[in-house]
Amino acid sequence: MSSRPIALVTGATRGIGSAVAHALAPTHDLLLGGRDRARLDELAGELRSARPWPVDLTDFTALAATTTGIERLDVLVHSAGLAELGTIEETPAEVWRRTMEVNLVAVVELTRLLLPALRASHGHVVLLNSGSGLRANPNWGAYAASKFALRAFGDVLRAEEAEHGIRVTSVHPGRTATDMQRSVREQEGGEFDPGQYLRPESVAAAVVSAVTASRDAHVTEVVIRPGQAR
């Protein structure tokens, strides 16, 4: 790694996470977080000054060990997540637990472990949230609850870490053309038309804008909705 700013992006192997990694690569050294080592190696080969950071975010023992050597971190982008739809009646406790563990608890724990590194560089934490973190709809109970909680975490983190110069941005994209969105659309029984969705690159551009804002500007929340169909 060089003297350039360092960014860690979780969920970097696909979708918004991959787009964010590509968008940050020209200006940042990258740690690419994910579970698919082969895909991480492939992505690292495509990007300047990037290296794989393979870890299961819900294996908290491994997470603690993997973060030990990170002494300085300028940007932490949380993009990993999952969505399983169903009515309250249809959704068992294990789905709620799994959703909360991936979308919230893993985010909280990784951030907690990296706070010393973030404080050392007056870093920036970006939480890839969702429109479901602002509004809950039928069949989205577990996912929306996890994203509402993620928003609350971001608000608390921002207030607690202001004295250390850490900025926290919650990004709330509308429906985005990703593999996860394709899966969600299939769960809903509808057709997946990428032209009706945000592009991951558009969300990534908003992330970069927040991260590169001058120090007098703290972009606390970004809400993005799909525009006209392409």
Q: Which residues are catalytic?
A: 143
Residues 6+ apart with CB under 8 A from 119: 161, 164, 165, 166
Cα separation, 135 vs 138, in Å, equals 10
- Residue type for position 5: P
User: What radius of gyration do the chain's Cα atoms show?
Assistant: 17
Q: Which helix (H) or strand (E) holds 175?
A: none
Q: Which helix (H) or strand (E) holds 152?
A: helix 141-161
What are 28's strand-pairing partners?
Answer: none
